[in-house]
Amino acid sequence: MVKIMKEKILMAMSGGVDSSVAAALLVKAGYDVTGAFMVNYDSKNDKLVSCWQGDYQDALRVAAKLGIKLLRLNFVKEYKKMVLDYMYKEYSSGRTPNPDVLCNKFVKFGSWLKKMRELGFDKLATGHYARLGWVIKNKVKLLQADDENKDQTYFLHQLTQIQLKQALFPIGQYTKAQVRQLAKKFNLPTADKEESMGICFVGEVPMKKFLSDKIKSKPGKIIFSSGEIAGRHDGLAFYTIGERIGLKKQNSKPVFVVDKNIKANILIVGYEHDPLLLKKNIEVVDVNWITGLSPKFPLKCEVRLRHRQPLQKAKIIGHNKKIIIDFEKPQRAVTPGQFAVLYKKGECLGGGVIK
Task: For residues 89-118, give the mean pLDDT.
Answer: 94
Instruction: Tell whether the model's pLDDT for residue 4 goes beyond 60.
Output: no
CB 70 within 8 A of CB 99: no
Task: For residues 151-161, give the mean pLDDT.
Answer: 98
- In a 10 Å sphere around its CB, with 0-12 CB exposed, 13-18 middle and 19+ buried, how is residue 2 labelled? exposed
| Structure-model confidence comparison of residues 199 and 59, the more confident one | 59
Instruction: Tell whether the model's pLDDT for residue 296 goes beyond 50.
Output: yes
- In a 10 Å sphere around its CB, with 0-12 CB exposed, 13-18 middle and 19+ buried, how is residue 201 labelled? buried
Was 43 annotated as part of a binding site?
Answer: no
**pLDDT for the residue numbered 303:** 98
Was 226 annotated as part of a binding site?
Answer: no
CATH assignment of 277-354, among 2.40.30.10, 3.90.550.10, 1.10.10.10, 3.40.1440.10: 2.40.30.10
**pLDDT for the residue numbered 6:** 84
| Sign of the torsion angle spanned by Cα atoms 60, 64, 62, 152 | positive
Q: From 177, 190, 186, select the one nearest 15 (Cα to Cα).
A: 190
Task: For residues 126-153, give the mean pLDDT.
Answer: 93
Question: What is the C-alpha to C-alpha distance for residues 151 and 137, in angstroms, rounded to an integer?
Answer: 27
Was 19 annotated as part of a binding site?
Answer: yes
**pLDDT for the residue numbered 48:** 46
- Model confidence at 1, in pLDDT bands (50, 70, 90)? very low
Where along the chain do its domains lie?
Answer: 8-207, 216-273, 277-354
Question: What is the C-alpha to C-alpha distance for residues 294 and 17, in angstroms, rounded to an integer?
Answer: 37
- Model confidence at 110, in pLDDT bands (50, 70, 90)? very high
Share of the chain above pLDDT 90, in %: 82
DSSP helix/strand/coil, 229: strand
Instruction: Tell whether the model's pLDDT for residue 270 goes beyond 50.
Output: yes
Average pLDDT score, the chain? 91
**pLDDT for the residue numbered 145:** 98
- Catalytic positions are 103, 200
User: How do residues 311-354 score in pLDDT, each as one tens digit?
Assistant: 999 999 987 789 999 999 999 999 999 999 999 999 999 999 99
Was 196 annotated as part of a binding site?
Answer: no
Task: Decide yes or no: CATH 3.40.640.10 for domain 8-207.
Answer: no
The least confident of 13-22, 107-116, 211-220 is 211-220
User: How do residues 248-257 score in pLDDT, each as one tens digit?
Assistant: 665 678 999 9
CB 200 within 8 A of CB 246: no
Give CATH superfamily name and number for 216-273. Adenine nucleotide alpha hydrolases-like domains (2.30.30.280)
pTM as predicted: 0.92
CB 140 within 8 A of CB 165: yes
Radius of gyration of the chain (CA): 22
- In a 10 Å sphere around its CB, with 0-12 CB exposed, 13-18 middle and 19+ buried, how is residue 308 labelled? exposed
- Model confidence at 50, in pLDDT bands (50, 70, 90)? low
Question: What is the C-alpha to C-alpha distance for residues 333 and 289, in angstroms, rounded to an integer?
Answer: 25
